[in-house]
A and B are shown apart, each in its own frame.
Chain A
Amino acid sequence: MALFGVFIVVPMLGAIALSLFRWNGLGTPHWAGAQNWIQFARDPLARQALTVTAKVVVLSWVLQTPISIALGLFTAGRPRYRSVYAALYVLPLLLSTAGIALMWEALLDPNFGGLTALSRSLNLGFLRQNWLGNPSITLYVVIGLIAWQFIPFHTLLYAMGRRQIPDVLYEAARLDGASPAQMFWRVTLPQLRYTIVTSSTLIIVGSLTYFDIVYIMTNGGPGYTTRVLSLDMYQVAFQQNEYGYASVLAVVLGVVGVGIALGLVRFSGFGSMSSQQEGAA
């Protein structure tokens, strides 16, 4: 309890307090009042970081959710070869983010990388790109890599969710003459709504604070095109030593994160006692 208090709660309050000071880490902190917050409102870099982060959040959700649902339903299915697939699908979960970043750096290298080699032997020109150095595509490459890393996990969640749906519901729907598409929209999706909320919350909050791949692979570049909010905060704090201003960014991250999480949970009625087996009869 004390451990949690000292290392989580104190820093939480500390971030809010620090955001009101100007401090370079040495010397004494100076009271700054709302100065840091005004700086935040006027900072074009922060605005850029917010835009990039918003893109990462929205596109990550749009990309990861449908694929994860499809793969989750697939792996929860009956044929035996699927369990082999399911076991292979989870492999990326074992790799650390640092490992994933280094692996993809080797693949995406425009001169000696795996994709360039592939484009040469298959004559597919589009595979040869400056993946991590072209301002118009790098952000999407990063979003794709985040998806590569996390889809396996969400697939696992959806597969578990699907296995919990009672077979009776499908039998009933079949007797009523429902087509597979109708069964998907009327039975599977509504039954998966708790999983969808859980998974979406994790995707949104996770990509809001996403740091590792961006830090290792692009460090915010080219230009500022992949400088997400958490990277912005890291650099303001640990490279420019402006702990006060960095704390403003941290508080923004924390508040938006907690807000979205609570909002999603509230909005979806996650806490309420609505019946899981709605429509079962």
Chain B
Amino acid sequence: MSQTATRSVRAQSPTRSTPAPSRRRRRVSVGQVVTFLLATVWLVIVIAPIYYMVLASFRSQGTYLTGNPWLPQGGLTVSEYGTVFGAGLGRYLVNSVILTAACIVLTLTICLGAAYRIVRRSTRASAVSFSILLLGLAIPIQAIIVPLYLLVYKAHLYDTLFALMLAMSAAAVPVSVLVMVNFVRDIPHELIGAMLVDGGTEWTVFRRLIVPLSKPVLATLAIYNGLNVWNNFILPLVLTQSNSVAVLPLGLTKLEGQYAINVPAVMAAVLLSVLPLVVLFVVMRKQVMRSLGSVIMR
């Protein structure tokens, strides 16, 4: 925590090898051992269930029930991965990919446009809509799920991916607009003014200046919103019903209904559902962690 300070004091001290500093060093290291142990306990709490799931997914139903599930006894197999693909997991995966991609594109397009308008035109209407948006930040989705369902039902959109796309994009709007407004506001007005003087329209400014400059914030929001859409459970639960439009989280519970006693199959399905995210995470860990945090901290 305060190691910079410790180190600089030590460096200036001519009596580096006297017992005092070394005793201090030992006391620090006892603290460090305790910290290390506690941190490792938490690491085990985090990793053990995941390890268990990975191991279980590579067993057959028989060896899972008879052998010790924590040890790779009785041989490993990938057969249950085949089972879940046969049971429709591929369909759910495709649905999730389509839905997530569509939501990201829709949300980012709408929100960047809206943010630009809010920043450029300070009319009363845009100010009012901005404050309504801020209120939307605090409204939990559970509180509006019933009328949302009725709305979708009356619009004959029940049980379609399209309805999910609209609802999830709408849910992502408040946070996204807020983050983007803060970003667009920081783009120097001189740049925009210069482009307008050179004969550009608001549209060319938006396309040539705002969009390219916003790339980092767009990436951040794409990751943040993408994760939320990918993992959302309650909206698909309420707004869809058929297997053909089920997305992964809902599909997983459907598979569990089918294979309640085949734990390896269910575990394989869960693992396949996170695989795309794990790949994303391994490729761009720093960016993902920053996205998750910075959107919330604003």
- Asked if A49 is at the interface (CB within 8 A of a chain B CB), the reply is no
- Asked if A211 is at the interface (CB within 8 A of a chain B CB), the reply is yes
Q: How many residues of A contact B (CB 8 A)?
A: 91
How many residue pairs link A and B with beta carbons under 8 A? The number is 248
Contacts of B234 in A (CB 8 A): 211-212
Given contacts A8-B170, A87-B285, A211-B234, whether A156 and B144 have CB atoms under 8 Å apart is: no
Q: 0/1 per residue, A165-205, Cβ < 8 Å to B?
A: 00100110111000010010000100000010010001001
Contacts of B194 in A (CB 8 A): none
Contacts of A121 in B (CB 8 A): 68, 70
- Asked if B151 is at the interface (CB within 8 A of a chain A CB), the reply is yes
Complex Cα gap A90–B142 (Å): 26
Query: Are B292 and A156 within 8 A (Cβ)?
Result: yes
Query: Are A98 and B1 within 8 A (Cβ)?
Result: no
Complex Cα gap A118–B52 (Å): 11
Contacts of B266 in A (CB 8 A): 102, 106
Complex Cα gap A9–B266 (Å): 38
Query: Are A254 and B144 within 8 A (Cβ)?
Result: yes
Query: Are A205 and B39 within 8 A (Cβ)?
Result: no
Q: Is the interface of A mostly helix, strand, loop or mixed?
A: helix
The smallest C-beta distance from A37 to any residue of chain B, in angstroms, reads 16
- Asked if A146 is at the interface (CB within 8 A of a chain B CB), the reply is no
Q: Which residues in window 137-167 of A have CB below 8 A to B? A: 148, 152-153, 156-157, 160-161, 167
Q: How many residues of B contact A (CB 8 A)?
A: 86
The smallest C-beta distance from B53 to any residue of chain A, in angstroms, reads 5
Contacts of A161 in B (CB 8 A): 297
Q: Which residues in window 85-143 of A have CB below 8 A to B? A: 85, 87-99, 102-107, 109, 112, 114, 117-118, 121
Query: Are A8 and B45 within 8 A (Cβ)?
Result: no
- Residue in B106, B147, B248 whose beta carbon sits within 8 Å of that of A18 in the complex: B147
Binding site for A on B (CB under 8 A): 1-6, 9, 31-32, 35, 38-39, 42-43, 45-47, 49-50, 52-53, 56, 64-65, 68-70, 106, 110, 114, 129, 132-133, 135-136, 138-151, 166-167, 169-171, 173-174, 227, 230-231, 233-234, 237-238, 248-250, 252-253, 256, 263, 266-267, 269-270, 273-274, 277-278, 281, 285, 289, 292-294, 296-297
